Amino acid sequence: MNSFTYTGLPARVVFGVGTTAALPDEVGALGIKKALVLTTTHQKAEGEALAEILGNASAGVFSEAAMHTPVEVTERAMAAFKTAGADGIVSIGGGSTIGLGKAIALRNDAPQVVLPTSYAGSEMTPIIGQTEAGKKTTQRTLKVLPETVIYDVNFTLTLPPKMTVTSGMNAIAHAVEALYAQEANPVLSLMAEDGIAKMTSALARVQEAPADIDARSDALYGAWLCAVCLGSGGVALHHKLCHVLGGSFDLPHAETHTVILPHALAYNAPAIPRAMEALRRATESDKPAAALFQIAQSAGVPTSLEELGMPQDGIARAVDITLENPYFNPRALERDALVTLLENAWHGHEPAT
């Protein structure tokens, strides 16, 4: 076995069905006296329900969280935090809301309790992405890692089947890249393979029975494992492309991951033989990239950048931005090959190895 380094991240996890009941105790354990509850506009009702559970420990609800964590939204949230006399954060939602909580914590080091309602995985990472003037930038710092995560399977039962698939594919992407990222190691590889296997199996079952507790539990557990991979491991070409497409063209986060993942994996496949072995086991397919593409296709979710509103004439610009500040990748980034990758993704072609 080769030498490796594994860094475990300090986070408390409460997992199960009905675990939201533990929220007041978890907030109190962090010494939070007044928690500002964060949501998107669409999940304001869920945020208000949490504020009621918190009672006197609630500092109100801020419901303007948005995709890609726009800096201007964060500035409004900071003002609300100060005005309410808050000293902590409770975030309920997916990547948009969790990202906003992280952005606040980055600026004032406020403790965070997170209740995920999707499989995006941001809650388990010390990574924050923020968008300003049309560009999304990311950084890694423990200041933004939530202190406590409450996984309540009940919150995922009403996640629509199509949204379940795109959110699940977003999670799978974290684990796929952990298998061949620069920080890859045997511990994360075990988590990644199991996370991908749990999620791919659960996605098929959820399509048939969206309220199946066991399927939803497996999906959320798989998402947790995939998120740990993202938080403790690293990323490569897939995440770079998604950051570029999301930040520069305002494409929806989970759907962009869904479209790009099979193509980015196919691009790297020749350079990652051991990772491909693990992916064949996890997906139970000889062609993992095609298997991931077919999961999206069979669920009727977008499989092309064209469907997401990406202009075809933006492909060259996306490649330029990708090459300006590239992430580590096991295969060298070749301009013509990247253009072909994005052209295939734009048209929605099945990935070519």
Domains contained in the chain, CATH given: 12-156 (3.40.50.1970), 161-347 (1.20.1090.10)
Q: Which tokens go with 45?
A: 């009702």
User: Which DSSP string do the residues of 153-191 spell out, in sequence order?
Assistant: GGGGTTS-HHHHHHHHHHHHHHHHHHTTSTT--HHHHHH
Half-sphere exposure of 163 (CA within 13 A, CB side): 11
> pTM for the whole thing?
0.90
When pLDDT is cut at 50, 70 and 90, the band that residue 2 belongs to is confident
Query: Using an 8 Å Cβ cutoff, are 30 and 86 in contact?
Result: no
State the Cα–Cα distance between residues 42 and 142, nearest whole angstrom.
Answer: 29
Q: Which of 256, 259, 211, 263 is nearest to 237 (CA)?
A: 263
User: In this structure, how many other beta carbons lie within 10 angstroms of the beta carbon of residue 123?
Assistant: 29
- Residues pairing with 37 in the sheet: 61, 90
Query: Using an 8 Å Cβ cutoff, are 7 and 143 in contact?
Result: no
| Cα 308 to Cα 189, 197, 250, distances in angstroms | 32, 27, 9
State the Cα–Cα distance between residues 261 and 172, nearest whole angstrom.
Answer: 9
105-147 residue pLDDT tens = 999 999 999 999 999 899 999 999 898 887 788 898 999 999 9
Residue, of 276 and 233, whose pLDDT is higher = 276
| Cα 345 to Cα 157, 244, 255, 331, distances in angstroms | 31, 14, 12, 19
Average pLDDT over residues 54-77: 96
Average pLDDT over residues 31-42: 98
353 pLDDT more than 80: no
| Residue 222 one-letter amino acid | G
Sheet containing 148-152, strands listed edge to edge, beginning at the edge strand earlier in sequence = 12-16, 148-152, 112-116, 88-93, 35-38, 58-62
Q: What percentage of residues in the chain have a pLDDT greater than 70?
A: 99
148-198 residue pLDDT tens = 999 999 999 989 999 999 999 999 999 999 999 999 999 999 999 999 999
277 SS3 class = helix
As a whole number, the mean pLDDT across the chain is 95
246-257 residue pLDDT tens = 989 989 989 999
Q: Which tokens go with 128?
A: 């924050």
| Cα 270 to Cα 31, 92, 238, 350, distances in angstroms | 50, 40, 15, 17
Q: What percentage of residues in the chain have a pLDDT greater than 90?
A: 88
1 pLDDT more than 80: no
287-331 residue pLDDT tens = 999 999 999 999 999 999 999 999 999 999 999 999 999 999 999
